[in-house]
Amino acid sequence: MFLIGQSISFTTREGIIMTEAAAKARILELTQEINHHNDLYYQKDQSVISDLEFDQLLKELISLEGEFPHLKFPDSPSQRVGGTITKQFPTVVHKNPMLSLSNTYSEEDLRDFDQRVRKGLGDKPYEYFCELKFDGVAISLAYEYGILTRGVTRGDGTKGDDVTANIKTIRSIPLSVGKVDTPSYFEARGEVFMPRDAFIALNQSREVAGEELFANARNTASGTLKMQDSSVVASRKLDCFLYSLMTDDQKIYSHEKAIQMLINMGFNVSPTFARCSSIEDVLDYIKKWEEKRLELPLDTDGIVIKVNSMEQQKALGFTAKSPRWAIAYKYKSQSAATLLNSITYQVGRTGAITPVANLQPVQLAGTTVKRASLHNANEIERLDLRIGDTVFVEKGGDIIPKVTAVDLALRKPDLSKVTFPNHCPECETPLERNEGEANHYCPNITGCRPQAIGRILHFIHRNAMDIDSLGEKTVALLYDKGLLKDPADLYELKYEDIFQLEGFKEQATSNILQGIENSKVQSLSKVVFGLGIRFVGRTVAEKLVQSLKSMQAIMDAREEALLEIPEIGQRIAESVVLYFKDEDNLVMVKRLKDAGLKMTTEDDISIENGPLSDKSFVISGVFEHFSREEIQDLIKINGGKLVSSVSGNTDYLVAGNNMGPSKRQKAEKLGIEIISESDLQLLIKG
Ligand code: IVH
């Protein structure tokens, strides 16, 4: 820190000396620029800079705010990236309860509703306002003097959870709104959702990471909003449509006017609404959106019909649970009837038994459905299934179609009830079912073929130890030959073990062994993830490692200590403790340690004499063969240093596709070598 004349100056992390006044000016400039790009992107569907350039602006802002914390304003766009950890969300009582809507599935019910409204309003003229019913999580956002102060979930309708830090990461929710016409206090209510594209992309990356897939976008949005680490929420790409504005400060005459005010203040309002002058218009709206809604970026399950005039809404009032001035019309989900041919019981990596219905192929919503999930024994019981039944299958927001009911009218006599097996279909071991759990498990962890193979495949997965020289077939072959029973056996495989297998020549054998050897550089969090502990996905493994720093500490941690860690709840804590109570697991971890795998975060620190040591790298763009994270790991593992922006001290710029032009120009100007991902691999190989 220096004192120059009257003004205070700081040395920023990038080594630039900056006065407070200059920092303030730059912070304001960056804030404006970021808000401008956010507005272009979310309100006008335009993007004039790449994601990476956008991230760069945010990074600079965060870094300046780190140096000058008193210049961090409550509506700074830096809050979008999260970082706050909330172990327990405080409960907040809603100023006005968040009610639900009564549902209807028929035109007749809707006409009855219309009659009730007509009568209730004493035959005075009235209008409706129709919106789609978004399938997400209801949220209430409080703004005081234009600043977003609180985001609360619906909860039980009377009180919900304060999830403000997570809400602030949703880019389309304004952190502050313009001063003109803005009530000094208002609540905007709407639906937080995960766009279908984001949901599919998230599941794809989970698949690549060997993590359990999410069933549907709604539950994923709901789970994400309750995550403890807001930076994980920020990475999940949630969005929000607003459909209600409540304030005591101003008289708002109609729902339409409230919607217009929300739009003017910069909120994201789905442009699918319409004012309808009669119930006939409402029915037309319902027809219009029945198919068209499937093209929207999110799941919708119906429409909401609201009386437009606020005065008339007040006159109609509420029942105990819902308003008399609104109703939801639900579209029937697409379903088809078909025959249940058989049920297969699959054994997963964790030993969980999943029943799957094998169906007579049937067309549903543009695809042929042959199989459907039956979840567990309770579901089979609930449906009262029999092989040979005619069943209804539905495809809602869920990725796997589900069996929803049996057509009892078509049931043939003599069909016997399906009974859930009490022995493992693969290894004949008696199945177990823990109290309170829906799933049956095969407890034969080491001896049950699909479990053992599944565990090894998980361990060698790209996002765990990344042994790509081994494939599913080879692992199965080695398992069947008795050479590979658990992940630790990999490191004890000998040349002859593999070479003797049919079809394995010298090159293939050495490749496999080299791949196994190379995996020893993988970080501790990858080792922990690779163990395949139930409920310990990639993020949880990283959190465990960040907090506890060594395998030994994770093994020794008690439930209470684990519960202190972000993202670790009761279910995960119990699972971790249980895993390390098992003697076989302890022996396996010890063997992994003896084989030379990373067991502490200190082991993770870059190799001092690695091929990239003393070299600094900037990475930019999208790569063909690696994810950004993988390129970063590759550089770190080989001793290189990662820096975020190009400067005179940078040695290499690793350039992918769609790299920002400014980085390239700067690198060219400074004479920094620009290399591709394959050049990087060559550098490492030496
Ligand atoms: S208005 C008094 N409008 O549906 C209730 N709700 O069953 C006012 N929802 O909890 C709610 N889209 O989560 C309204 N366009 C929309 C909606 C909508 C979805 C959800 C909301 C609410 C539930 C009511």
Question: Can you give 545-589 as a three-state secondary structure string?
Answer: HHHHCEHHHHHHCCHHHHHCCCCCCHHHHHHHHHHHHCHHHHHHH
Atom of ligand 1 nearest to the CA of 154: 10
Collapsed DSSP state (helix, strand, coil) of residue 144: strand
With a 6 Å cutoff on the Cβ, whether 442 touches ligand 1 is no
Task: State the distance from the centre of ligand 1 to the C-alpha of 100, rounded, in angstroms.
Answer: 7
Strands 673-675 and 652-655: parallel
Q: How far is the CA of 246 from the centre of ligand 1 (A)?
A: 14
Give dist(CA 515, CA 521) in Å, integer.
11
Distance of CA 153 from the midpoint of ligand 1 (Å): 13
Ligand 1 in reach of 100 Cβ (< 6 A): yes
- Ligand 1 contact, 154 CB (< 6 A): yes
15 Rama class: left (phi>0) / alpha (psi -120 to 50) / beta: left
Taking CA atoms only, the protein residue closest to ligand 1 atom 24 is 100
Cβ atoms of 282 and 288 within 8 Å: the answer is no
Q: By alpha-carbon position, which residue is closest to atom 22 of ligand 1? A: 100
What pLDDT is recorded for position 5? Answer: 35
Q: Name the DSSP class of 372.
A: E
Per-10-residue mean pLDDT, the chain, length 686: 44 66 91 87 76 84 88 86 81 93 93 97 96 96 94 93 95 85 92 94 78 86 91 91 92 95 94 96 96 91 96 93 94 89 92 94 88 91 94 82 92 91 96 87 91 94 89 93 95 94 90 92 94 89 93 96 90 94 95 95 67 86 78 80 79 86 85 90 80
Is the distance from the beta carbon of residue 329 to the nearest atom of ligand 1 less than 6 Å? no
pLDDT at residue 9, rounded to an integer: 60
DSSP calls for 393-453: EE-SSSSS-EEEEE-GGGPPTTPPBP---SB-TTT-PBPB--TT-S-EE---TTT-HHHHH
Helix, strand, coil percent content, the chain, rounded in steps of 5: 40, 20, 40
Cα–Cα distance for residue pair 589/602, rounded to 1 Å: 18
Q: Please tell me if the CB atom of residue 328 comes closer than 6 angstroms to any atom of ligand 1.
A: yes
CB of 599 within 6 A of ligand 1: the answer is: no
- Which residues is 353 bridged to in the sheet? 347, 440
Is 192 close to ligand 1, i.e. is its CB under 6 Å away? Answer: no
The distance of Cα 457 from the centroid of its chain, to the nearest Å, equals: 23
* Centroid of ligand 1 to alpha carbon of 273 (angstroms): 13
Helix, strand or coil for residue 649?
coil
Write the residue with the smallest CA distance to atom 2 of ligand 1: 99
β-strand partners of 592:
none
CA 171 to chain centre: 15
With the most atoms of ligand 1 within 8 angstroms of its CB, the residue from 130, 285, 304 to mutate is 304
Select from 480, 426, 483, 476 the least CA-distant residue to 453. 476
Distance 101 CA to ligand 1 centre (A): 7
CB of 289 sitting under 6 A from ligand 1: no
Q: How far apart are CA 315 and CA 317, in angstroms?
A: 6
Instruction: Find how far residue 97's CA is from the centre of its chain.
Output: 29
Residue nearest to atom 17 of ligand 1 (CA): 133
Using CA atoms, how far apart are residues 543 and 562, in angstroms rounded to an integer?
A: 10
Tokens of 472: 């599913």
- Give the position, in ligand 1's atom list, of the atom nearest the Cα of 103: 7
Give the single-character DSSP code of 323.
B
- Is residue 191 in contact with ligand 1, taking CB distance under 6 Å? yes
Query: Which residues are paired to 641 by β-bridges?
Result: 616
- What CA dihedral angle connects 519, 525, 531 and 536, to 10 degrees? -150
Nearest-atom number in ligand 1 for the CA of 191 is: 13
pLDDT of amino acid 6: 41
Q: Are 463 and 526 in contact (CB under 8 A)?
A: yes
Ligand 1 geometric centre to CA of 242 (Å): 10
Q: Does the beta carbon of 526 sit less than 6 angstroms from any atom of ligand 1?
A: no
- Does 23 contact ligand 1 (Cβ within 6 A)? no
To test the ligand 1 pocket, which listed residue (94, 99, 100) has its Cβ within 8 A of the most ligand atoms? 100
What single letter denotes the amino acid at residue 284? D
Ligand 1 geometric centre to CA of 268 (Å): 16
- Please, are residues 445 and 532 in contact by the beta-carbon 8 Å criterion? no
- Ligand 1 centre and the CA of 136: distance in Å? 10
Which letter, b or e, does each residue of 138-168 get, where b requires 16 or more Cβ atoms within 10 Å of its Cβ? bbbbbbeebebebbbbbbeeebbbbbbbbbb
> What does the block give as tokens for 602?
């200190």
Q: With left for phi above 0 and alpha for psi between -120 and 50, is residue 375 left, alpha or beta?
A: left
User: How far apart are the two ends of the chain, measured CA to CA in Å?
Assistant: 42
Would you say the CB of residue 89 lies under 6 angstroms from ligand 1?
A: no
DSSP 299: -
218 Cβ closer than 6 Å to some ligand 1 atom: no
Catalytic residues: 133
CA of 177 to the centre of ligand 1 (A): 23
**DSSP 8-state code for residue 520:** G
Which atom of ligand 1 approaches the CA of 101 most closely? Answer: 7
